[in-house]
Amino acid sequence: MRLLVVEDDPDLNRQLVTALSDAGYAVDSAADGEEGHFLGDSEPYDAIVLDLGLPKMDGISVLESWRRNDKMMPVLILTARDRWSDKVQGFDAGADDYVAKPFHMEEVLARIRALLRRSAGHATNELVCGPVTLDTRSSRVSVNGNPVRLTSHEYRLLAYLMHHNGRVVSRTELVEHLYDQDFDRDSNTIEVFVGRLRKKLGIDVIQTVRGLGYMLSPPTDAS
């Protein structure tokens, strides 16, 4: 899953990027409203963390422009604790949730998980496909209750497919959502990660749809 952080405070920006990256997300960042607006308008993010008090272009204007351009990604706004009017204005502009500053990073992580979960139509942090379970809260994967150790890229790939269980996902879409903008993207590496995932999971839940991409589906019962 790929996220964007738009925050002008360099320390807070860095803290958010680090925490979200450590949680298993591919993360891009912007330090002002113009850059954030451009990235959100041109890149396919799964969710965005947006500060309202930004230089060059304020957060409300950025958000309103995204929504006018039919950008539907979930947006979590950051507001000053005593500015309840910012929260109302943010929701009216199209925000999905907010966190008041100062905040605990665990709350931001929990709210991002909830936004991603709801946007994909899931009710809980545990995503299940047959015997495979992925816990977005702990970033743990298991098969029939047995833990499976994955690299960060393998986890991102499985998490994206699990969030979009039952839908064909193209290699291009996977590349766009698994890597940040600085990563040297190559769609051929997706095949490598899929092959590794299949071996580690030990069961056939990742189906190749010829000419289209991949789809996650429970293994068929051979009996």
pLDDT digits (tens, 9 = 90+) for 82-136: 678 888 888 999 999 999 988 999 999 999 999 998 888 787 889 999 899 999 8
Whole-number mean pLDDT of the chain? 89
Give residue 41's pLDDT.
Answer: 94
Give residue 211's pLDDT.
Answer: 86
d(CA 136, CA 118): 13
d(CA 161, CA 93): 30
The answer, yes or no, to whether residue 149 has pLDDT greater than 60, is yes
pLDDT digits (tens, 9 = 90+) for 57-90: 999 999 999 999 999 999 999 988 667 888 888 8
Residues 6+ apart with CB under 8 A from 161: 169, 206, 214, 215, 216
The answer, yes or no, to whether residue 164 has pLDDT greater than 70, is yes
Give residue 223's pLDDT.
Answer: 35
The answer, yes or no, to whether residue 173 has pLDDT greater than 80, is yes
Main-chain phi, psi angles of 124, to 5 degrees: -130, 175
Q: Which residue segments constitute the domains of the chain, with CATH numbers given?
A: 2-119 (3.40.50.2300), 126-216 (1.10.10.10)
pLDDT digits (tens, 9 = 90+) for 174-188: 888 887 776 666 657
Give the percent of the chain with pLDDT over 90: 62
CA angle 181, 183, 186 (to 5 degrees): 110
Residues 6+ apart with CB under 8 A from 64: 93, 94
Averaged over 182-206, what is the pLDDT?
Answer: 82
Length of the chain: 223
* Number of other CB atoms surrounding residue 210 within 10 Å: 5
d(CA 128, CA 141): 10
* Number of other CB atoms surrounding residue 142 within 10 Å: 15
User: Shortest CA distance to 129 belongs to which of 212, 207, 219?
Assistant: 219
Inter-CA distances, 210 with 8, 111, 154, 170, 205, Å: 44, 36, 21, 10, 15
Label residue 190 exposed, middle or buried (CB < 10 Å: 0-12, 13-18, 19+): buried
CB 205 within 8 A of CB 129: yes
Label residue 11 exposed, middle or buried (CB < 10 Å: 0-12, 13-18, 19+): exposed
Beta strands 213-216; 47-51: pairing state: unpaired
